[in-house]
Amino acid sequence: MACFEIKDLNFSYPLRGKKALDHVDLVVEQGEFVVLCGKSGCGKSTLMRHLKPVLTPHGERDGEIYFHGVNLKDVSFRDQTSQIGYVLQNPDNQIVTDKVWHELSFGLESLGVDNETIRLRVAEMASYFGIQTWFRREVSGLSGGQKQLLNLASIMAMQPLVLLLDEPTSQLDPIAASDFLETIRKINREVGTTVIITEHRLEDVFPYADRVVVMDKGRIIANDTPRVVGRALKDENNEMFYALPSPMRIFSGVENDLECPLTVREGRAWISRLLDGADIRERRIYDEKVFDTSDPVVEMKEVWFRYEKESADIVKGLSVKIPKNKIFCIVGGNGTGKSTTMKLLTGILRPYRGKIKIGGKDIRKFKKNELFEHNLAMLPQNPQALFVKKTVREDLLEMLSGFDLSKEEKAAKVADVAKLVNIEDLLEQHPYDISGGEQQRAALAKVLLVEPKILLLDEPTKGLDNYFKFRLASILKELNKKGVSVIMVSHDIEFCASYGDSCSMFFDGDIVITETPNKFFSGNSFYTTSANRLSRHVFLNAVNNEDVIALCKRNLATK
């Protein structure tokens, strides 16, 4: 018997003409690992929510869903609570109580399970998920990855038959994200729980999937094994193709009739076979970017920082020159001091030793708000921290309230910036009603209205799908041309490699190396892009997918 059987499901939100779900037919077998993907707003979350009746949105709906042969409407609240587990996107918001152990037992308490059984189940879960060391801690002290793991464990404690996960890793850093997905796979393999997951970072999850379902405008457009779906997306020239793992994209870029690789390991084997027998003359890609610091816009000189006199140093003797009108990327692990460095640049924190110069002027010599007037601005990690008004337009206008401008001039400025970041259609909506990527662009528009010369970005690609990332990159390039220098801190290696002008590795409170992305990533063997890991045994400095494809093509031509 199938776990879920969806028969001709249609759904539309009230007061919206467009169908959110359009004739959806889908069968998910027991024990399957299904990845549901699609652009933001394609209806994947809506579909997921239909599989858990308490979370199903209100609206016009027809069609039936069967859960283990029973119509989902007839499944009681108690049964759906224990049998259908649902993990949401934001790790923080899902946690209800203040202690880890209490959170773990929350679902079981609701089900009215007695103390002895809860004790056993909680112990079991804590051991399985490796939570026992922080079992008695307060939840507020946990990292994002730990919080999401706790959410998962607290649902698994109810022993569900199926686990629904709605973009569970979008708010996590890449390492925590792959750990989390690894845990999901482990549950699927070892416990046999059916998994349905929506994701936009397909790199990690694709190789695990038994089946991939692609949605577009409320319809299912592909539903097959990962390899077949990859080929279909390529053939249809679908935007979702750019969200596929690097090995698949590289594979599709080169004419060949070998089997499609899913992982880096398979990709390496594929490229070896592809070029087998060819005389590899070209091993190097031309790197046109140069890292030049002769005219720095920001300069830090032996900067030291710690929060309290007794605490440990966080930034340790950091010296860096940041070039003008470029995209300067800082990468590195969690807790190495990246975000603290950003705060130092904005003057929120002050170093206890060393100098920071912004545009050639010592940061201490800036008067109160001078630093932020047409000079420096930062886009926070969570764009929601900026929105004040009921509509995006009002919000943008509010930003100009301090300036001495006429109404028309203000409106013109807002129109300009809206065009630049591509949010003209969203101006009348509430800032909280638009998607994550749109919110970010709206926030960016807001920041740009202060006309900064230096733009600081903290994790700008977090939670964005590849399509939005591409848009963001082109906006940043546009800003570079207009004389804005961009400094960004990111975990997103692929983004920095493709669009950055230089990359710096932050480690232990200091920048270890700064280079052009090509030199930077081709010099690393672990901390580098998948395209580079996939091709480094053949090519010397291919960092992006396009590099690998170009080199493959050139060498194949001589075969």
Partner 1 sequence: MSYDTFSTCHPLLNFCFFVLVIFFTMCFIHPVCLLISLTASFSYSVYLNGRKSLRFNLMIALPMMILAALMNPVFNHAGATILTYLPGGNPLTLEAIIYGFATAIMFVSVIFWFSCYNRIMTSDKFIYLFGRIIPSVSLVFSMVLRFVPKFKNQASVISNGQKCIGRDVTNGDRKQRLHSGFRIISILTTWALENGIETADSMRSRGYGLKGRTSFSIFHFDTRDKILACIMGVMVILAFVPIAAGAVHIVYYPMVVMNETTPFAVFNYISFGLLCYMPLLLDLMEDVRWRVLKSKI
450: contact with partner 1 by CB under 8 A: yes
| Sheet with 502-507, edge to edge strand ranges | 376-379, 454-458, 485-489, 327-331, 502-507, 510-515
Nearer to partner 1, 113 or 550 (CB): 113
Which tokens belong to 142? 């946990």
161: contact with partner 1 by CB under 8 A: no
User: Which strand (E) or helix (H) includes residue 295?
Assistant: none
137: contact with partner 1 by CB under 8 A: no
Minimum distance from residue 78 beta carbon to partner 1 (Å):
6
Chosen residue from 119, 289, 355, 410 binding partner 1 by CB under 8 A: 119
- Residue ranges in 405-434 that form contacts with partner 1 under rule CB under 8 A: 432
Nearer to partner 1, 48 or 232 (CB): 48
193: contact with partner 1 by CB under 8 A: no
Minimum distance from residue 353 beta carbon to partner 1 (Å):
23
294: contact with partner 1 by CB under 8 A: no
Minimum distance from residue 429 beta carbon to partner 1 (Å):
14
Minimum distance from residue 168 beta carbon to partner 1 (Å):
12
58: contact with partner 1 by CB under 8 A: no
Q: How far is CA 363 from CA 189, 301, 304, 418, 459, in A?
A: 55, 12, 15, 31, 24
Q: Residue 471's Cα: distance from chain center in Å?
A: 14
10 forms beta bridges with 62
**293 neighbors 328 (Cβ within 8 angstroms):** no
**166 neighbors 88 (Cβ within 8 angstroms):** yes
447: contact with partner 1 by CB under 8 A: yes
460: contact with partner 1 by CB under 8 A: no
Check residue 467 and report its DSSP letter: H
What is the dihedral angle through the alpha carbons of 133, 125, 36, 95, rounded to the nearest 10 degrees? -60
489: contact with partner 1 by CB under 8 A: no
95: contact with partner 1 by CB under 8 A: yes
Question: What does the alpha-carbon distance between residue 438 and residue 428 come to, in Å, rounded to a whole number?
Answer: 13
Check residue 99 and report its DSSP letter: B
554: contact with partner 1 by CB under 8 A: no
110: contact with partner 1 by CB under 8 A: yes
265: contact with partner 1 by CB under 8 A: no
Rounded (10°) angle between helices 246-253 and 545-557: 30
Query: Of how many residues is the chain composed?
Result: 559
101 burial via Cβ count (<10 Å: 0-12, 13-18, 19+): middle
Question: What does the alpha-carbon distance between residue 256 and residue 270 come to, in Å, rounded to a whole number?
Answer: 10
Question: Which region, judged by CB under 8 A, interacts with partner 1, from 91-99, 218-226, 434-442, 542-550?
Answer: 91-99
Question: Which region, judged by CB under 8 A, interacts with partner 1, from 87-95, 269-277, 501-509, 520-528?
Answer: 87-95
- Within 8 A by CB and 6+ apart from 462, the residues are 170, 171, 381, 491, 492
The number of beta carbons lying within 10 Å of the beta carbon of residue 524 is 17
Minimum distance from residue 135 beta carbon to partner 1 (Å):
8
Check residue 509 and report its DSSP letter: T
Nearer to partner 1, 148 or 223 (CB): 148
514 forms beta bridges with 504
Question: What does the alpha-carbon distance between residue 201 and residue 48 come to, in Å, rounded to a whole number?
Answer: 17
Chosen residue from 137, 343, 357, 462 binding partner 1 by CB under 8 A: 343
Minimum distance from residue 521 beta carbon to partner 1 (Å):
30
242: contact with partner 1 by CB under 8 A: no
Nearer to partner 1, 439 or 545 (CB): 439
**442 neighbors 473 (Cβ within 8 angstroms):** no
134: contact with partner 1 by CB under 8 A: no
101 forms beta bridges with none
**296 neighbors 457 (Cβ within 8 angstroms):** no
Nearer to partner 1, 80 or 555 (CB): 80
Chosen residue from 154, 514, 528, 530 binding partner 1 by CB under 8 A: 154
Question: Which region, judged by CB under 8 A, interacts with partner 1, from 133-141, 201-209, 493-501, 524-532?
Answer: 133-141
**270 neighbors 289 (Cβ within 8 angstroms):** no
387: contact with partner 1 by CB under 8 A: yes
Question: What does the alpha-carbon distance between residue 119 and residue 99 come to, in Å, rounded to a whole number?
Answer: 15
Minimum distance from residue 55 beta carbon to partner 1 (Å):
6
15: contact with partner 1 by CB under 8 A: no
180: contact with partner 1 by CB under 8 A: no
Chosen residue from 37, 88, 149, 209 binding partner 1 by CB under 8 A: 88
What residues line the site for partner 1 (CB under 8 A)? 52, 54-55, 77-78, 81-82, 85-86, 88-90, 92-99, 101-102, 105-115, 118-119, 122, 136, 138-140, 151, 154-155, 158, 343, 346, 348, 368-369, 372-373, 377-378, 380, 382, 384-388, 399, 432, 446-447, 450, 456
